[in-house]
Amino acid sequence: MSQDLLPPVAPSVTAGLVEALSPRLRKRLDAGVAKLAARPVVREGDTVRIALDDDTELELHVVGGSVTSADAIRCGCLLAPDCLHRAAAASAAPVADAGPADSPGHAPTPTHPSSSATASAAATATASTSAAYASVQEGSAGHGGVPGRPADESPDPGQLVAARGVFDAATAVLEAGADGSGAVLQAELLRAAHTARLAGLPRAAASAVSVVNGVRAARSADPAHRLPDLVEALRAALGVAHRLPAARGAELAELRGTVRQPYAPDGSLRLYGLFSEPVLTATGYAGAVTWTADAEGRLYTVSDVAPGGPGRATAAADRAVRIGDTALTHRELSRAGLAVSGATVSPTGRLGAGAGVRAVRAGGAAWSAEPLGRLWTAPVAEQVARALHGGHDLLFLDVTLAGTVREATGDCLLADCAGLTLRLATAHQDPALPYRDNLRLLAAARGSRLRIVARLVPGPLPRALLLAAEHPADPGARVDLGLDRLQHADLPTATGASVAVRAVDEAPLHLLRRRVHQAVSGGRRVLAFPGVAAGDGARLRRVGMGTAAELLDELHAAAADRSRDAFGRLLPADTDRFARAWLASSLYTEEAERALCAAAWGAAKQG
């Protein structure tokens, strides 16, 4: 059964169906989901049918693109409506959500700080995360104000209950790890998400749904799954739920979030296409995003993202953009231009497609010509500093291809960039997208000087995800590496020597990061084994990362902490202590990677 054929199901529906199961059926739910996945699915209009056997069908009735009530899932078996099939179908289907993030994701790891830069960056990370560490350990939080709102405004009782529900459900997932978080734990987190949304906490709700989607992707071996993304989702869910009870004023408004991004009028715009990229997420969304820029270098996006799989991601580039009456496809817009009147724009630069928006095709511009050329004149360190401090994460770079290097996650394309050895990684691993094949072909164009667009990957080595590039044999043309396929015949013969990548003296942040990731994957038990981190704390202290060492020690102590009662029986683990220790370690790791990244790119002074 392809998940693409199943309609999204509201979190409250899935949670309610699972909760209604008897304890005996709950134990069989994961097996029921797996069994249902092998059954044929047929979609006819707003009705989806799953053949349970030759005589029995399960039906899902869609309203407005999703299943919004338990009554819309009907089963023809003798035990219905109290059967396992309805809950299994809801648990197998995508989660109905407000939609994916504005910007497509990023990816993992690392570059080239010297010993002194590493020590400096580690010190910066320690200073900038000490407050967050104290907040997680002691439950403190900052206060702020916002115009028109009382500075001491606090969460209402319903929000406090909802936040605690998200924290407890996310903690249960962390306790079990993705490997042990079956449909029942997922349903509990979906119920917490639904409660949070009703309580006016859309940010907490969205974070909880992201965790569920990430867990499902991990358990199904979805090619789109990336463990760092699941770590980030769990950190967001726990972090928001932990901070909200003590938040006031502006911080409270930020933690509550908004259901939809506001679109503000922006008058008339003259835009020039930059590139298009496919979107294929572990949360069940697919499509394309086209990036454009105005004459001042400000970036705007036009997107077509909806529930779907790889097929939708590859086809969306040839669909007309959803703005005004233009018939331009995303692929055409990436090389042409757009004149927009009555434009509306979100805070992240996404163009609205309201009834009052008018758009017509206009001429484009080459990357080497104005106004697009100015994007590549900004110093590299300045671009990285902007990305690390909340700006867009795209980098516009001039590079010379220099070979490849093999890593655990696959081959990286090496390039010289302003004197730095840059590692360019694949933006998405799904074989339906041409990223990997294009990266391998570009490796054969060693010595080529190219303009590229890449997405920054924070870490201790200069690294980015390669999104678009000039054509190696035709500088006037450009290649959207997630949509266009290069051919061997298109490539010039290699003219440069391969670059030998030397080992670098980098901060051993991976000692802490690895444990943070292991907990998300395997749960608390994988960190509770004696001697699992022997010597790691001492190694961190030797290089001046004392805070990281303390966090690592506490993480292992919290994982192994099991008290006994007067009769010697093990008491339940202190899951709250483990969740707080994990959250503090995760926050520190995130901030330290940003500091090390700034040092690697020479962007520390820019911040």
Encoded tokens for 134: 């104290």
* pLDDT(390) > 60: yes
Q: Can you give the pLDDT at residue 221? A: 81
Indicate if the pLDDT at residue 394 is higher than 50. Answer: yes
pLDDT tens for each residue of 192-232: 999 999 999 999 999 999 999 999 989 988 777 889 889 99
Per-residue pLDDT of 225-247, as tens digits, reads 889 889 999 999 999 999 999 99
* pTM (2 d.p.): 0.80
Q: pLDDT of 46-100, one tens digit each?
A: 999 999 988 899 999 999 889 999 999 999 999 999 999 999 999 999 898 754 4
Residue for token digits 């724009």?
345
pLDDT of residue 411: 80
Can you tell me the mean pLDDT for 109-128?
Answer: 39
Lowest mean pLDDT among 100-109, 372-381, 445-454: 100-109
Among 604, 582, 607, which Cα is nearest to 133's? 582
- Please calculate the CA angle 309-312-316 and round it to the nearest 5 degrees: 150
pLDDT surpasses 90 at 517: yes
Look at residues 182, 202, 205, 178 and name the one whose alpha carbon lies nearest to residue 192.
Answer: 205
Tens of pLDDT, residue by residue over 464-473, are 999 999 998 8
Instruction: Tell me: pLDDT of 505 over 80.
Output: no
Under a CB-based contact definition with an 8 Å cutoff, are residues 151 and 249 in contact? yes
Residue 111 predicted with pLDDT over 60: no
Contact (Cβ atoms closer than 8 angstroms) between residue 275 and residue 306: no
User: Quick one: what percent of the chain has pLDDT higher than 90?
Assistant: 59
CA atoms of 65 and 9, how far apart (whole Å): 9
Q: What is the 3-state secondary structure (H, E, C) of 168-228?
A: HHHHHHHHHHHHHCCHHHHHHHHHHHHHHHHCCCHHHHHHHHHHHHHHHHHHCCCCCCCHH
- pLDDT confidence of residue 264: 85
Residue 604 has pLDDT above 70, yes or no: no
Burial of residue 287, with CB atoms counted within 10 A of its CB: 0-12 exposed, 13-18 middle, 19 or more buried: buried
Residues 6+ positions from 14 with CB-CB distance below 8 Å: 87, 90, 91, 93, 95, 186, 187, 190
- Identify the pLDDT of residue 127: 45
Residue 60, classed as helix, strand or coil, is strand
For residue 71 the two structure tokens come to: 């009554």
Task: Pick the range with the lowest mean pLDDT from 6-15, 146-155, 294-303.
Answer: 146-155
Q: Give the CA distances from residue 469 to residues 187, 381, 405, 510, in Å, rounded to whole numbers and listed in that order.
A: 43, 20, 20, 31
Tell me the pLDDT band of 107, cut-offs 50, 70 and 90: very low
Strand partners, 405: 412
pLDDT reported for residue 337 = 94
Q: How far apart are CA 185 and CA 568, in angstroms?
A: 29
User: Quick count: other Cβ atoms within 10 Å of Cβ 260?
Assistant: 9
pLDDT at 175: 96
pLDDT for 499:
56
Q: State the pLDDT confidence band at 503, using cuts at 50, 70 and 90.
A: very low
Q: CA 45, CA 571: separation in Å to the nearest integer?
A: 53
Task: Indicate the pLDDT class of residue 282, thresholds 50, 70 and 90.
Answer: low
Q: Answer whether 286's CB lies under 8 Å from 313's CB.
A: yes
Q: What is the pLDDT of residue 38?
A: 87
User: 559-590 pLDDT, tens per residue?
Assistant: 988 777 777 777 778 899 999 999 999 999 99
Q: What is residue 122's predicted lDDT score, i.e. its pLDDT? A: 43
Concatenating the DSSP letter of every residue in 74-115 gives: EE-STTTTSSHHHHHHHHHSPBP-S---SS-----------H
| Sheet of strand 337-345: strand arrangement | 299-307, 285-293, 264-280, 337-345, 358-362
| Greatest mean pLDDT range, 94-108, 380-394, 503-517, 531-545 | 380-394
> What pLDDT does 241 receive?
97
For residue 414 the two structure tokens come to: 């090496």
In Å, what is the CA distance from 361 to each residue of 88, 303, 317, 325, 337? Answer: 48, 17, 17, 10, 6
pLDDT (0 to 100) of residue 586: 97
Name the residue with tokens 């997107």.
303
Q: How far is CA 400 from its chain centroid?
A: 29
* Residue 453 three-state SS: strand
Q: With contact defined as beta carbons under 8 Å apart, do 365 and 371 qualify?
A: yes
| 467: Cα within 13 Å, side-chain hemisphere | 27
- Least confident range of 134-138, 370-374, 540-544: 134-138
What local confidence, expressed as pLDDT, does residue 352 receive? 87
What is the rounded CA–CA span in Å between residue 192 and residue 205?
Answer: 7
494: confidence class by pLDDT, cuts 50, 70, 90 = low
Q: Which two tokens stand for residue 161?
A: 């209950």
- Mean pLDDT, rounded, of the chain: 85
Tokens 């867990």 correspond to: 215
Q: Could you tell me if 126 and 596 are in contact, meaning their C-beta atoms sit under 8 angstroms apart?
A: no
Task: State the amino acid at position 32 in one-letter form.
Answer: G
Q: 331 is written with which tokens?
A: 């692929």
Alpha helices in 496-535 (DSSP H): 510-522
pLDDT of residue 567: 77
Q: pLDDT band for 408, please (50, 70, 90 cuts).
A: low
